[in-house]
Structure 1
Amino acid sequence: MDKRLFYFCSGVSSSLIWPWLPPWDWWLPLTLLCLLMLRRFLLGGWLLLGVLWIFSYSHWQLNWLTQPELTVRSHIIAGQVIASYPKEETTGRLIVRLESLNGQALSPQPRVLLAWYGQGTIPAQGDRIGSVTRLLPPHSLQNPGSFNSARWLLGQGVSARGYLTGLLFHEPAPAGLRSALLARFEAATDGLAARRWLLALSFGERGELSKGDWDTLRALGVSHLFAISGLHIGLLAALGYGLGSLTGRSWMAALGGMALALAYAWLAGFSLPTQRALLMLMLWLGVSQLGRYWSGRRILLACCTILLAGQPWLVFSQGFWLSVLAVAALLGTRLLFRRQGLVSLQLALCLLLLPLLLLLFGGFSWLSLPANLVLIPLFSLLLIPLLLLTCLLLVPLPAQASSLLALLDGLFSRLMAALEWLAESLSPWWPLSAWGQGGLLLLVLMLLAGLLPGARRLWPLGLYLLLLQAWPGPAWEVRVLDVGQGLAVLVTQGRQALLYDTGNRYPSGFNMADSVILPLLNELGIRRLDYLVISHDDRDHSGNRDYLARVLPVGRRWGAWPDGQGCRAGQRRQWQSLTLEVLWPERVSGHSNNDSCVLRISDGRLAVLLTGDIEAGAEQRLIRSGRRLDAQLLLSPHHGSRSSSSPAFNRAVAPDLVVHTAGFANRWGFPAPEVVARLERQGVEQYVTGQHGMLHLAAAQDRWRLLNQRRPGPWYNRLNAWLNGRKSLE
């Protein structure tokens, strides 16, 4: 049984690495092959059954996106809010289950993620709303180290996204017991310093936690303590089981454990992590009450099978894998330590989960082990029981509940202040470059292999892979980052770096420095910038200028800086083996498109021309200036706008390859069709960052070698190609 469940889960999970999504007409041969395999090769049949199941489910959920003109115009939608993530009173995100589109009922009812920019308060969970919006398929910026929002959306069951600026109708959900209790709790904690922590740990409401709060928790490796999941549900189940066992009856103990676990999950709004924990708990209690023995491995596999059979897209959720692999690591500790003490258990968990943490977060906290050794017992034995007792007393005994809240406020305020001090003074979070992650992962695997019989023979292979990672790369490289509608270009010579423009920074707080630039620099092991060049003042070019200068050492500030060296034609710098030449503007300014800093970077044989947002007028004056414009790689001026890239300028540069830094489905229609047509007639190879993702080019003598020939990653990174062509994602 265990093998069958494992192979089914493996078949479903294989969709994580599918390079393309096969067309729907594959279902019949896949079904016939699956039936044949089940008769002759049982385990292979179960594997193919998992593949067939998520293949069918994906087409079923995505088919509504193929309606004519769905993504090219606005539509009237109506549906129910199933999750609300407010950031401020009038901004946030909603996950809405669509009931109708332009008055037509939908089946299945798809989930969509809608950014809220309305004038009133953001709708709450359970509300029914109607509005007008434009819908787009899941899409993610594609840069090494960046968060994959397309995969996250599918993991939440979301198959489209959009935004709202107002509502046609709004029907608030009837007030339920949980919402009434939450409102009372919010009123009781109004003005308390630790309010945000109390809300997160009791009701799972984490909207008030800031980015700085999450950075502190991540730095100490204790984020899981404020995400109500298996640890918290297991704690309450154990408490209820202990209380029930006082009756001397096993069924009362099981009932007590399940009752308290259900109560906490209900309080937390039955979030997905609590649902997974409840399912595993129910399986374990149910099997034990039936007098059967199932190993922890079987319970875990059965739980995964039930979850993936009901929601196959859970395989795209990081939370699902963190939960599953944390339990698997607990089971695996028996292989490492015979005695299951708290220290040995936590050490084994840190060691076994390290590869996953490196994969998901690009680093680890060296303070995680001691912090968890102290905080897990503190939360389990004191803070969580006190907090839940407070919620229980909130209605019948509000005075006593207020006293407990005052006590908890003092405890949490002091505790979180101490944790913030630790995070700031010790800097325990160690981000690792791709080389460092690979090296550490190999060392951990070699250590684990040393504990297995005969596995030490693999050590020479591990040492060879470590040496392979240290092999020197190209002399210099250019990475045109995928920053949506904006510009950021990273030029590197080994660990030395020049950044040209910084992408946008939005009023919501989302910015391209934290989401794209800094993760990429960390991936490359770059800790400082030799040059930070800002072409001009437009926010999509300079939005993160000051922030990057605060968080990174910067050697030279060049271009549109209040306190840097302005760009002016004729400036020339030697940067190791590369020559940096400013071709434009004629006078230092940087306040308008036509004053953009035009920078030519060359090694004597190969060149790249960075043009900012100059338009046809500046292009013509550049040509008349007689300065050297030729470059094998050109970033199209002004993102490929029709006001730029004049035929004369294109001929003067004579590029082999042009990159248009235009965002996916941008409202300006960049790059303009006429610009693309001009360059096609010139025989130039063209790429668009919004479609292709980050362009990574390496110098290869007298030509540029494109290292990523297509949009990287699995099929869900190219949903737009499937939508436009109704064909396999390839």
Structure 2
Amino acid sequence: MLLLCLSISFVTGIALSAGKPAAVPLVIGLLVIGGVATLVLRRRSLFLLLLLCAATLLVADLRYERALPPDGASMVAFYNGMDEVDLQVEVVEEPVRKSRYYELVVGSLRLLDEGESRPLEGKALVRTHDPRDYRYGDLVVIHGRLEAPAIVDGFDYPRYLARRGIYSVLFCPQMEPTGRTSAGTIMSTLNDVRTHLSDALARSLHEPQASLAQALLLGERTSLPRETSAAFARAGAAHLLAVSGLHLGIVVLVVVAAALAMMGRRRYLYVWLALGLLWAYAALTGLRPPVVRAAIMASMFLLAELAGRQKHAPTALMLAAAIMVAVNPQALWDVSFQLSILAMGGLVVFYRPLHDGFDSLLDKAPRLLAAGRLVPSAARDIAAGTIAATIAVWPVGAATFGIVSLVGLPVSLLVLPVLPFALGTSAAVATAALISPILAAPLAWLAWLVLTYVLRVVGLFSGPSWAAIDTDIGMTALCAYYVLLTCAAMYFMLPHVRPRRQRGGAVVEMSLGGRMLRLAVLPLVVTVGLVGAALSAAPDGALHVVFLDVGQGDAALVTSPTGRTVLVDGGPDAVRMCSLLGRYMPFYERHIDLVVSTQPHADHIAGLVATAERMNVSMVAASAACHESLLYERWQQAVSREGLVVTHPVCGQSIDLGDGVALDFLGPRATGYSGSADDIDNNGLVVRISYGSVSFLFMADVRADVERDMVRRGLPLESTVLKVGHHGSSTSSCPQFVAAVSPELAVISAGANNEYGHPLLSVLQTLESQKVRYVTTANCGTVECVTDGKSLWIVCERRSSVDEEWQHN
């Protein structure tokens, strides 16, 4: 009781010092007055308790004051808004890859000034387009302008960053890596292991399953598509995407349940095993502060069990929270810290009542629920634990993400019981892939099935417009909820509420056949799921040409009637590109027969870098044009590192894709183009793919002068479908060329609301004047063309002026 009160007093003191400093003396005064009153009433024990709580509040106030950052030239914030500076920094967190830029948190700052080096306190956030592969522990020299973080749409971004120790922001500075400072250290080694495991998942699974596995298992969300993150938020499941107390609590429950089933309670081996695996998993995720805090919470829970004092677990958890807040007072406002405490608190208080409730249901209605006994008792343990944790954490998640999900409960009931299987299969895939890709393949199929189930459930419930409402949960509502939850917790912790249950009533005896059926259910479900998915993804004897909606860029996936694949360009966004490949390629397929890189600009090759690193590519056909950029340099390094065969085809060369599908190169000409309006664009690869009487012409970013040259040379340009050049820019698609191609349909790949205004009205008027129907990925999304060599079917992701299904004979 004493430790619990003192722990609560310390945490309360930190909160009051930060939020309302003037309230601290008032509260201390009230406690002292109350103590004097109890002394008069001869309640000495209560007097001492109140006095100690008052002293603890004072200590908390002093600790918070000492934790505030100092002012002056020793702080990085002192240089915000001044001239550009040179800094030597260390990357202190794993870089985060956004859609078009990277975020790096840097620390160990040293100001470089006229040959001198001065240390600066605090950290800085760097946003850069530099595509080089920065990692934790890298040393970098930066030249740029420090800026103070700004409030964004009413959100107090400066305060949010300050709680992480970040006081400055640099936008697109000049950066030059100089080495690594943490090489050989434990943290560097752990980070390398995590990087290898993350890469293994990326190489074994398609997106978005791979990025979901990385988020669930390793806490890495950098590759998660934006639409997937948004769907989890709307479905009330966003907390699943960050390793927190919920994940570690599930790990503890699974290990304890399995160990008890195998070894019983002998010498508390199940506790020691759970502790060991708990901290091994925490180390696997990089021992990030949120994970360490969650691991400490879980350890307190286990140690309370080891000491035979499980009823004092709330005291142990509050003591751990007070210690961690004392070490870093800013941790109190860290959402992951709050989720860790709440999740473990929910497990301590509500797990047993829920577990007993499940068993009671089975005892009271044995005939109706006999089928429930096909579910192992460990699964009921997991369900009780995950629901108990969710009851405690969902309001904080809703307040953090600004969304209240109306479907959070059914999503939790459907997703949380399979979360251990998602974690387990993902871990198995990552480990096996480090040994052999062949060994990892069947495990990857199992992981894909479980992860796809999670994604489908989240997607199904997040789809309706009423699934979530935007809200701003105030402090009053949060406090009211947790007051009620505290009352419920106190009720369930009363001794008379949880008597020792006598197992009685009717018992359903299972026959040998029933036990065999119980063991066969899971393998049967897995087999049916995988076979069904494989059959639906099998080649259908038609040629599929999919113009992928990659934004302001080009990318198309071609699949032959028997399943051979060609990828033409990769778009400007690697995350989006990988997600689209995962949607349109079979889950078991990790091979691309040919990658065509029409030209070296970022809007064509950014996604190809990730493709080369993740997929097995047989050959690359690339434009001979070079481009001086860091991204093109990284593309060349990826090709070299993976040992890919590269050719530079010219007009007149062709590749037989089999099944009657021919790929012909119509550009550039053998002598190339020089001195033109844009030599890189004009020396791009022009590709024509034909199957029977249906053909597709890909024009890359080739300009009008080269288009007219191709017409003069009499090249076989006539095609059924034209992929319009240069995203519908006025520099391409001249009337003579469009007339020579005479397409039935034109596809324009451009981003919605792009800064260039593509496609331009003049290009659309040219198409309309020649009665060419057109679709744009900006309006229609991904456009899929399917042909048997005679007929052509068009399916748009979103409805457009072209019918959702259009047939050409």
**What TM-score comes out, normalization by structure 2 length?**
0.47
- SS of the residue corresponding to residue 82 of structure 2 reads coil
Match of 2:142 in 1: 131
Aligned match for 2:12, one of 10, 13, 19? 10
Amino acid of the structure 2 residue aligned with 1:309: A
CA contact (8 A) 2:294 2:337 kept: no
Aligned match for 1:113, one of 122, 125, 135? 125
CA contact (8 A) 1:16 1:315 kept: no
Distance 1:228 1:106, change over 3 A: farther
Distance 1:83 1:21, change over 3 A: farther
CA contact (8 A) 2:398 2:405 kept: no
Match of 2:159 in 1: 151
Match of 1:364 in 2: 404
- C-alpha separation between the residues in 1 aligned to 2:4 and 2:211? 43
- C-alpha separation between the residues in 2 aligned to 1:450 and 1:183? 43
- C-alpha separation between the residues in 2 aligned to 1:241 and 1:428? 35
Match of 2:233 in 1: 218
Distance 1:408 1:109, change over 3 A: same
- C-alpha separation between the residues in 2 aligned to 1:157 and 1:68? 14
In the TM superposition, 1:348-497 aligns within 5 A as 356-357=396-397, 359-380=399-420, 382-425=421-464, 427-432=466-471
Match of 1:54 in 2: 64
1:315 aligns with 2:355: no
Match of 1:84 in 2: 94
Distance 1:78 1:308, change over 3 A: same
CA contact (8 A) 1:77 1:132 kept: yes
- C-alpha separation between the residues in 2 aligned to 1:450 and 1:270? 34
- C-alpha separation between the residues in 1 aligned to 2:119 and 2:55? 30
Amino acid of the structure 2 residue aligned with 1:157: G
In the TM superposition, 1:198-213 aligns within 5 A as 198-213=213-228
Alpha-carbon displacement from aligned partner over 1:481-530 (angstroms, at most 9, x marks no partner): xxxxxxxxxxxxxxxxxxxxxxxxxx999xxxxxxxxxxxxxxxxxxxxx
Match of 2:520 in 1: none
CA contact (8 A) 2:13 2:60 kept: yes
Match of 2:650 in 1: none
Alpha-carbon displacement from aligned partner over 1:305-354 (angstroms, at most 9, x marks no partner): 12112221112322222332344445564999895557888777666656
1:221 positional shift: 1.0
In the TM superposition, 1:248-397 aligns within 5 A as 249-290=266-307, 295-331=312-348, 333=350, 341=358, 356-357=396-397, 359-380=399-420, 382-397=421-436
CA contact (8 A) 2:216 2:243 kept: yes
Distance 1:432 1:225, change over 3 A: closer
**What TM-score comes out, normalization by structure 1 length?**
0.52
1:45 positional shift: 1.2
1:160 positional shift: 2.6
Alpha-carbon displacement from aligned partner over 1:97-128 (angstroms, at most 9, x marks no partner): 1241226666675222111233x425222211
Alpha-carbon displacement from aligned partner over 1:401-430 (angstroms, at most 9, x marks no partner): 221112322442354134313311363112
CA contact (8 A) 2:149 2:168 kept: yes
- C-alpha separation between the residues in 1 aligned to 2:252 and 2:82? 50
Amino acid of the structure 1 residue aligned with 2:10: F
Alpha-carbon displacement from aligned partner over 1:18-58 (angstroms, at most 9, x marks no partner): 47999xxxxxxxxxxxxxx9999321111111111111111
- SS of the residue corresponding to residue 100 of structure 1 reads strand
1:379 positional shift: 1.2
Distance 1:411 1:369, change over 3 A: same
In the TM superposition, 1:701-716 aligns within 5 A as none
Amino acid of the structure 1 residue aligned with 2:143: V
Match of 1:178 in 2: 193
- SS of the residue corresponding to residue 94 of structure 1 reads strand
Distance 1:347 1:185, change over 3 A: closer
Alpha-carbon displacement from aligned partner over 1:171-220 (angstroms, at most 9, x marks no partner): 25648451562365155236555222122222222111122111111111
- SS of the residue corresponding to residue 463 of structure 2 reads helix
Match of 1:25 in 2: none
- C-alpha separation between the residues in 2 aligned to 1:429 and 1:440? 18
**Structure (1 or 2) with the larger CA radius of gyration:** 2
In the TM superposition, 1:671-686 aligns within 5 A as none
Alpha-carbon displacement from aligned partner over 1:654-680 (angstroms, at most 9, x marks no partner): xxxxxxxxxxxxxxxxxxxxxxxxxxx
1:93 positional shift: 0.8
Distance 1:38 1:155, change over 3 A: farther
Amino acid of the structure 1 residue aligned with 2:227: G
CA contact (8 A) 1:155 1:315 kept: no
- C-alpha separation between the residues in 2 aligned to 1:260 and 1:14? 37
Residue range with higher mean Cα deviation, 91-100 or 55-64: 55-64
CA contact (8 A) 2:148 2:167 kept: yes
- C-alpha separation between the residues in 2 aligned to 1:152 and 1:51? 21
Match of 2:173 in 1: 165
1:41 aligns with 2:61: no
1:230 positional shift: 1.7
1:149 positional shift: 1.7
- C-alpha separation between the residues in 2 aligned to 1:393 and 1:19? 54
Amino acid of the structure 1 residue aligned with 2:107: R
CA contact (8 A) 2:99 2:573 kept: no
